[in-house]
Amino acid sequence: MTEEIQLRLSPSRIAPAAARGALGPLRGAVDQETLESTTLLVTELVTNAVLHAGLRDDQDWIDLSVEVSEDLVRAGVTDRGGGFARPPPDPQVEVPSGWGLFLVSRLADRWGIERGQGTSVWFEIDRKATHTEDRSR
């Protein structure tokens, strides 16, 4: 089973909610914990793109891709912003932002940053077995 979601978003304040809404088809395709983690991390990455990439609503975009395979969920958020350096490992408690990539590093099994025609931040969450399947068929 492979489920794919591809979405192009305008970098507006409603982009994080639109990204969350696009994950609806994953309900029932993955366990609840994986769905909740994926939703939180996608929301954080889209929010980061909206707030920090320097994008303009009328010219720029944010691409969301999510792929569910038998073994994992892989999501990526790409924008045409200039990119960033990896943040410090722990955000400052007294600072109101800076928690997005910290959460990604804690909840995802793997994650990274790719630069090319913009900046892409991706993460992978290993799927947990929710039932035993007879694979001999």
Please report, for the domain that includes residue 78, its CATH number: 3.30.565.10
Let me know if residue 109 belongs to a domain: yes
Let me know if residue 92 belongs to a domain: yes
Predicted pLDDT at 114: 86
Whether the pLDDT of residue 89 is over 90: the answer is no
Let me know if residue 67 belongs to a domain: yes
Predicted pLDDT at 31: 93
Whether the pLDDT of residue 92 is over 70: the answer is no
Query: For residue 72, what is the enclosing H or E element?
Result: strand 72-79
Let me know if residue 132 belongs to a domain: no
For the chain, the average pLDDT equals: 83
Q: Band of the pLDDT at 88, cuts 50, 70, 90? A: low
Let me know if residue 133 belongs to a domain: no
Q: What is the mean pLDDT of residues 24-47?
A: 94
Let me know if residue 115 belongs to a domain: yes
What domain count does the chain have?
1
Let me know if residue 35 belongs to a domain: yes
Let me know if residue 76 belongs to a domain: yes
Domain that holds residue 108: 3-126
88 and 101 in contact (C-beta within 8 Å)? no
d(CA 134, CA 137): 7
Token pair listed for 99: 């928690």
Token pair listed for 26: 């994953």
Predicted pLDDT at 57: 72
Higher pLDDT, 41 or 133: 41
Q: Which of 8, 14, 121, 114 is nearest to 75 (CA)?
A: 121
In angstroms, how far apart are the furthest CA atoms of the chain? 56
